[in-house]
Every structure is written in C-alpha cells, then in structure tokens.
Amino acid sequence: MVAGGFVICEYEAVKRVFPEFQRVLDACRSALISKAEADWSPLKFGGMSPKAGQFGESPILPALFADNTGARMTTWRQYLASTGSQTLMTGVGSGGVIPEDFKVGIVGLAFLDPVMRVTEIKMQISDKKLPRINLEEAMAYNKPCIVFEDYYILDEETAFELVGYVEAIGYQSIKLIGVQLNRVPNKLQVTDTGAAVA
C-alpha cells in the first residue's frame, strides 16, 4: 500500500517532473479494478463505457465528497470562511464515508489556484491516520500538486477526511487526482456538467 512519501511539483508538469506518476497511477488503477471485480462479482470491468453486467470507470468526481461546510461538492472549489485547523473534505455519505457502489483510488491532489490558503494537510482513511504534509514549499508553485509515491484506496462505505490548516480566508480549489470506479454507472447523476473537470 502506501509508504508515505510524496513529491510536490507544478500540476501541469507532473509527468515531466515526476515520471513515476504513470507507474503509480497504473498500479492504483489495476489494484482498484482487481478489488472491484472481487467485491462486485459477477460484474466485470467495462471501462469508460460500461454495458450490462459491467462496472464503469471515471475521473474522481467531486460529487462523492462534502466540502468544509458539509455540503455535497459540485466542483472542487470551495470557500474557506475561517482560518485555523479545519476539515476541508470528507466522504459525502453519513459519517463522512464514500457512498456505496463507488471505489476511489487517490494518487495525489492539486491546488488549482495561484494563491495557497492552506499551509498543511493530513488525511485519514477509516481508522488510519496518514502523515501530515507541510505545504509551505508548495507556495512557490503556480498550481502546486502533491503526488504520492504510492496510492490510497477509498473503498465504498469507508470514512475519508482531509484536514488542513487554513491561513487565509477565500476560495480554494483542491482536486483529488486518481481514478473512480462506479458499480452502477447510472447512479452517478452528475447534474453539473463542470463537476468532472472543474
């Protein structure tokens, strides 16, 4: 699973600065598909256009997560109304869990704004607390990206929380990078056409 290492680089330059990114993403995707085929048998992997008897794949959609106010996200952008340590993102299900019928593989996260309002983050998946990441170095980048040296899997009905230390009030876009599997593709119900790419 995860050793805890990471690289901070420019979001647009992930492949050039951290060439192992594709290896990590491929390993994450492969592990996630294997897990889904075992858990969701007899369904098989159907890629981006699944048919009957298959589960689908998509980018990680913000609709599976709740923002710092507890509201379901429609884009990765949210308003940080106060400073200090606070929850930035959780699973959208009751108790901060990833909803049933979805599995998420995370290989990194990106801050899509030139202004960094968050100086430190830490994640928790179920009862596993992951190491803090100091983001002060990231402030030198236009759109900083944290790429993990290995991947994290958020299984369906598993709690997820991203906590950060906020130094300035304002908007911040924090995008999870990775892959999402959908047991029932029609269940996505994404009404905001920008949700997948925002």
**pLDDT tens per residue across span 136-147:** 888 888 889 998
Q: What is the C-alpha separation between 171 and 189, in angstroms, rounded? A: 26
Q: In terms of DSSP bridges, do strands 54-58 and 44-45 run parallel, antiparallel, or are they unpaired?
A: parallel
- What secondary structure does DSSP assign to 106-118, as a single string? EEEEEE-SSS--E
Domain ranges of the chain: 6-184
Phi-psi domain of 47 (left: phi exceeds 0; alpha: psi -120 through 50; beta: other): left
C-alpha distances out from residue 71 to 64, 90, 101, 110, 131, Å? 11, 10, 20, 20, 26
Residues 125 and 159 sit within 8 Å (Cβ to Cβ): yes
Residue-averaged pLDDT of the chain: 89
pLDDT above 70 (res 197): no
pLDDT band for position 194 (cuts 50, 70, 90): very low
Q: Residue 196's pLDDT is what? A: 42
Q: Model pTM greater than 0.95?
A: no
Q: Residue 157's pLDDT is what? A: 95
Condensed to tens digits (0 to 9), the pLDDT of residues 120-141 reads: 999 999 988 988 999 988 888 8
Q: What is the C-alpha separation between 165 and 176, in angstroms, rounded? A: 18
CB burial readout 109-119, b (16+ within 10 A) else e:
bbbbbeebbbe
For residue 77, give both structure tokens: 């952008």
Residues 132 and 122 sit within 8 Å (Cβ to Cβ): yes
Q: What is the C-alpha separation between 22 and 19, in angstroms, rounded? A: 7
Max intra-chain CA distance, the chain:
49
pLDDT band for position 56 (cuts 50, 70, 90): very high
At residue 49, φ and ψ (nearest 5 deg) are: -130, 70
pLDDT above 70 (res 189): no
pLDDT band for position 93 (cuts 50, 70, 90): very high
